[in-house]
C-alpha cells in the first residue's frame, strides 16, 4: 500500500464510525440524518444526481443481489459503479468500478477530493462533520460521477429511510429479505424494520421485492402504495426452479416477466437462487428505463458473479466453508442448506460474533447441529470474547468435551483441521462477516489490512 493510501485511511478513521461502535441511543435519533450528507454532496456539486442508479436495501442477501445485478449489467456492456459495505479485507473494496475495487491510489485521491468539502461542512452551524460512512458514500458518488458510469449499484449501509445512501433518485429500488437485525436502531419487530428499509422507495419508481415474512410484506406494500411505486413481487411475478446442485455451484431456471433464463450459478444455497431471481427482475425493470439487457448477458452475468464470504468453500478435503450469517434467520437458512450442497458426516463450527447481535439465538441453532465447536473472535472492536461465546454454547447444551476456544480465527481453523476427517467432515466458519474475512486471510494467504487504533483494547 502507498503512503498516500495509509494517510487516507488514517484521515478516514479520525471520523465517527458507527459501524465499529455499538449504538448508544434507541432507534435512529442523532446517529443518522440525511441533512448532513445532503449538504456535503451539494458542496461537491451533487455527484449523486446521476441516471441509472439501482438502490438495494434488505437484511439478507443485499450484497449478493447487488453483485449479481452489477455482473449482469457489466456483461451487457455497461460501465458500472458498485458501492457496498462492509469490506472484507480493504477499504478499496467498498468502491468498485467495472467489477474491481478502486486502486489504493484512486481511493487516496477520492479521500483528498472530498476532504475540503467535509471541512467546510463541519464548520457550518447548520451542518456538521461527516461520519465515516457518510464520507465513504460521498467518495463513491464522486468516483462514479468522475467516471460517468452508465449504471451505479448502491447498497444501503443500514436500514434505509435515514441511511446516507438514501439521497439518490434511483431508476429501480430493490428490497431483499428482511429479518431481525440492528433492532437497537431500526425497530423491535420485522414489520418495523421492513418499514424502515421501505424508506428507500421513491414516488413512481419501481421496487423489486424479494420473498418476505408476512409482516415485512405488509409494511413494504403500504410504503409502495403511499409512493405510487409499482412493486414486482419475486416469488409471484418472477419465480425460479433449482436443478442440480453441488459444492461447485447450481443450475436453475428463472421464470421472469418476459423470458425464461436457464443459468449456472457459481454461488451456493437456494437463497442465492432467490437472489438471482430478484436480480433478473431488477434488470428487467431497468430495461424500461432505457437500459436494455439482452438474454445472453443475464446468463453470462449470473454465471460469472463473484461474492466472497457467503457459503464460500475455502478448502476441500477436509472442506472448510465460510459464511457471514449474523442473525438467527441467516444461521437457520445456512444450516438447512449444508446437507444438500456440502454433505458431511461431522460438523465442526468455528464461531465468532459481534456482541451487539442476537448471539444466544444463533448459538441455540448452531448447538443443535454442531458435533464440535471452537469459539473465537475477530479483530473487530465489537467482537465477543471467546470465553463468553463458549459459556453461551454451554448454556445451550453443548457438552464441555465438544467445546474449545481459540484467541484468533486462524488458530481456531488450524485446531478444527487437526481433528477433521479429510473425506467426511465439514468445518464451518460463521457468526460474523469479520470472522469470515479473517478466515479468508488465514486460508487464502490474503494480507490483512489492520487498524491498530480500532482493535479491542485487549488485542492492541
Q: What are the average pLDDT values for consecutive 10-residue runs of the chain, which has 460 residues?
A: 87 81 45 84 97 96 96 98 96 98 98 97 92 97 98 95 96 93 67 95 98 96 98 97 95 96 96 97 95 97 96 95 91 94 96 92 96 95 94 96 95 96 95 96 92 61
Contact call for residues 433 and 353 (beta carbons, < 8 A): no
CB atoms within 10 A of CB 445: 7
What strands, in cross-sheet order, belong to the sheet with 319-323? 312-315, 319-323, 425-430, 346-351, 372-375, 403-405
Note the residue count of the chain: 460
Q: How far apart are CA 74 and CA 85, in angstroms?
A: 20
- What pLDDT is stored for residue 42 in this prediction? 97
CB atoms within 10 A of CB 23: 16
Axis-axis angle for helices 270-288, 295-303 (nearest 10): 150
Which residues are CB-neighbours of 24 under 8 A, at least 6 positions away? none
Distance between start and end Cα atoms, the chain: 22
Q: How far apart are CA 337 and CA 247, in angstroms?
A: 11
The values of phi and psi at residue 69, to 5°, are -60, -45
Say which DSSP state 198 is in.
Answer: G
- What pLDDT is stored for residue 451 in this prediction? 76
- What pLDDT is stored for residue 276 in this prediction? 98
Residues of the chain with CATH 3.40.1190.10: 3-303
- What pLDDT is stored for residue 453 in this prediction? 61
Q: How far apart are CA 44 and CA 283, in angstroms?
A: 30
Contact call for residues 298 and 280 (beta carbons, < 8 A): yes
Contact call for residues 65 and 277 (beta carbons, < 8 A): no
Query: Which residue in the block uniquely carries the three cell numbers 459503479?
Result: 81
Q: Peptide bond preceding 318: is omega within 30 degrees of 0, i.e. cis?
A: yes
Contact call for residues 373 and 341 (beta carbons, < 8 A): no
Which helix (H) or strand (E) segment holds residue 155: the answer is strand 151-155
Q: How far apart are CA 112 and CA 108, in angstroms?
A: 6
Q: How far apart are CA 336 and CA 192, in angstroms?
A: 27
**Which has the closest alpha carbon to 74: 141, 152, 15, 156?**
152
- What are the grid coordinates assigned to 143, written together? 468516483
Say which DSSP state 447 is in.
Answer: P
Residues of the chain with CATH 3.90.190.20: 312-459
Q: How far apart are CA 141 and CA 44, in angstroms?
A: 10
| Superfamily, domain 3-303 | Mur-like, catalytic domain (3.40.1190.10)
- What pLDDT is stored for residue 16 in this prediction? 81
- What pLDDT is stored for residue 179 in this prediction? 84
State the CATH architecture for 312-459. Answer: Alpha-Beta Complex (3.90)
The values of phi and psi at residue 169, to 5°, are -115, 90
Amino acid at each position: 500500500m502507498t503512503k498516500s493510501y495509509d494517510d487516507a485511511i488514517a484521515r478516514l478513521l479520525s471520523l465517527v464510525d458507527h459501524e465499529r461502535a455499538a449504538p448508544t441511543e434507541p432507534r435512529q435519533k442523532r446517529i443518522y440524518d440525511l441533512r448532513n450528507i445532503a449538504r456535503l454532496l451539494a458542496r461537491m456539486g451533487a455527484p449523486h444526481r446521476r441516471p441509472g442508479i439501482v438502490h438495494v436495501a434488505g437484511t439478507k442477501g443485499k450484497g449478493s443481489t447487488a453483485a449479481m445485478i452489477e455482473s449482469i449489467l457489466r456483461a451487457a456492456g455497461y460501465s458500472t459503479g458498485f458501492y457496498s459495505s462492509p469490506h472484507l479485507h480493504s477499504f478499496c473494496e467498498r468502491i468498485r468500478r467495472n467489477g474491481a475495487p478502486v486502486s489504493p491510489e484512486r481511493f487516496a485521491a477520492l479521500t483528498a477530493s472530498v476532504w475540503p468539502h467535509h471541512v467546510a461542512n463541519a464548520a457550518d452551524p447548520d451542518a456538521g462533520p461527516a461520519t465515516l460512512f457518510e464520507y465513504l458514500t460521498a467518495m463513491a458518488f464522486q468516483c462514479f460521477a468522475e467516471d460517468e458510469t452508465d449504471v451505479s449499484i448502491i447498497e444501503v449501509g443500514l436500514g434505509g429511510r435515514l441511511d446516507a445512501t438514501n439521497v439518490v433518485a434511483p431508476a429501480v429500488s430493490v428490497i431483499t429479505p428482511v429479518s431481525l437485525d440492528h433492532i437497537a436502531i431500526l425497530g423491535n419487530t420485522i414489520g418495523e424494520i421492513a418499514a424502515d428499509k421501505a424508506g428507500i422507495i421513491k414516488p413512481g419508481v419501481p421496487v423489486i421485492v424479494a420473498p418476505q415474512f408476512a409482516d415485512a410484506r405488509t409494511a413494504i406494500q403500504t410504503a409502495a402504495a403511499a409512493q405510487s411505486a409499482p412493486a414486482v413481487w419475486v416469488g409471484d411475478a418472477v419465480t425460479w426452479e433449482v436443478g442440480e446442485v453441488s459444492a461447485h455451484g447450481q443450475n436453475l431456471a428463472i421464470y421472469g416477466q418476459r423470458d425464461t433464463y436457464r443459468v449456472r450459478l457459481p454461488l451456493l444455497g437456494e437463497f442465492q437462487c432467490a437472489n438471482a431471481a430478484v436480480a433478473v427482475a431488477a434488470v428487467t425493470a431497468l430495461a424500461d428505463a432505457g437500459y436494455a439487457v439482452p438474454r445472453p448477458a443475464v446468463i453470462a452475468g449470473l454465471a460469472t458473479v463473484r461474492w466472497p464470504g457467503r457459503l464460500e468453500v475455502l478448502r476441500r478435503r477436509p472442506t472448510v466453508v465460510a459464511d457471514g450469517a449474523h442473525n438467527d434467520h441467516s444461521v437457520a437458512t445456512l444450516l438447512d442448506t449444508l446437507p444438500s450442497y456440502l454433505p458431511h458426516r461431522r460438523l465442526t463450527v468455528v464461531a465468532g460474533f459481534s456482541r451487539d447481535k442476537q448471539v444466544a439465538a444463533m448459538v441455540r441453532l448452531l448447538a443443535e447441529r454442531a458435533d464440535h465447536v471452537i469459539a473465537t473472535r475477530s479483530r473487530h472492536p465489537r467482537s465477543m470474547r471467546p470465553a463468553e461465546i463458549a459459556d453461551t454454547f454451554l448454556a445451550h447444551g453443548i457438552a464441555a468435551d465438544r467445546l474449545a476456544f481459540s484467541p484468533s480465527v486462524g488458530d481456531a481453523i488450524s485446531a478444527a483441521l487437526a481433528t477433521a476427517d479429510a473425506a467426511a467432515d465439514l468445518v464451518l466458519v460463521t457468526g460474523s462477516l469479520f470472522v469470515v474475512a479473517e478466515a479468508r486471510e488465514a486460508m487464502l494467504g490474503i494480507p490483512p489490512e489492520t487498524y491498530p487504533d480500532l482493535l479491542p483494547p485487549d488485542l492492541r
